[in-house]
């Protein structure tokens, strides 16, 4: 049985994203996990959003997340709940 996986293309912008090029940034900050406490997620979201705020490709990252309806993680300074509100 073959499984057809859709691979979402990430643009050239990703190679310039602070979350990928800054060795001091923990990529786990950007992950969302509904099993974590709200306080823990709020702290992680704030840290991730602070990194996004100074990222040179923030707009492209957010455009990517909105275009592909990314269900998880912080992209372009918005978490999934923020992105849902941004679309309404």
Quick: pLDDT tens for 49-82. 999 999 999 999 999 999 999 999 999 999 999 9
Q: Which residues contact 59 (CB under 8 A, 6 or more apart)?
A: 76
Determine the pLDDT at residue 11: 78
Cβ pair 55, 29 in contact under 8 A: no
Q: Which residues contact 87 (CB under 8 A, 6 or more apart)?
A: 66
Least confident of 23-27, 28-32, 34-38, 49-53: 34-38
With H, G, I as helix, E, B as strand and everything else as coil, classify residue 77.
coil
Whether residue 35 is predicted with pLDDT greater than 90 in this model: the reply is no
């Amino acid at each position: 049985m073959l499984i057809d996986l859709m691979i979402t293309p990430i643009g050239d912008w990703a190679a310039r994203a602070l979350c990928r090029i800054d060795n001091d940034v923990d990529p786990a900050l950007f992950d969302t996990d509904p099993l974590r406490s709200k306080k823990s997620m709020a702290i992680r979201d704030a840290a991730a959003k602070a990194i996004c705020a100074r990222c040179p490709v923030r707009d492209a990252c957010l455009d990517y997340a909105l275009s592909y309806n990314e269900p998880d993680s912080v992209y372009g300074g918005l978490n999934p709940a923020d992105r849902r509100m941004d679309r309404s």
